[in-house]
Amino acid sequence: MRTLLVLLALTTAAVAADPAVIEKGRQEEQRTCLPCHSLRIIHSNRLSRAGWNKELDKMAGWGTKYSDREAILEYLVANFGDDKPVTPPDMTTDGSAKK
Ligand code: HEC
């Protein structure tokens, strides 16, 4: 039974990583998230699937309207999952505000 569950989980992960869905999610992110803040605040995070799910719920509470929530979630997990290395923030060197 345990093996079956592991296999099921692996199959689901393989389906979830569909590049077309991830690309859709990337486009949806532009439309859905940019009205309120830059992408930097999103892309600097590394979260688990559960973490991104909670984050999307939190944004919904602030009025985010999703037309393809599932695709955005897959895109975020694939690119900014907690298994991905953290990139250092891109800073100006003279203390000036970032453009
Ligand atoms: C209705 C406005 C709104 C929309 C649309 C929105 N957000 Fe946010 N988001 C906020 C606010 C407000 C904050 C917190 C403000 C800040 O810290 O600048 C925030 C902060 C965040 C953070 C930083 C962590 C946190 O919880 O504070 C992440 C990650 C995030 N948003 C992800 C997203 C994603 C992904 C989308 C698109 C699916 C999205 N947001 C769309 C309002 C929004």
The closest alpha carbon to 72, from 53, 58, 87, belongs to 53
Question: From the alpha carbon of 35, which atom of ligand 1 is closest?
Answer: 5
Distance between Cα 5 and ligand 1 center (Å): 34
pLDDT digits (tens, 9 = 90+) for 54-97: 999 999 999 999 999 999 999 999 999 999 999 888 889 999 98
Which of 64, 67, 70, when mutated, tests ligand 1's pocket best, judged by the most ligand atoms within 8 Å of its CB? 64
- Residue 37 has a pLDDT of 96
Distance between Cα 36 and ligand 1 center (Å): 7
Which structural domains are found in the chain, ordered by start? 14-80 (1.10.760)
Q: What is the pTM of this model?
A: 0.83
Question: From the alpha carbon of 65, which atom of ligand 1 is closest?
Answer: 5
The closest alpha carbon to 17, from 89, 74, 70, belongs to 74
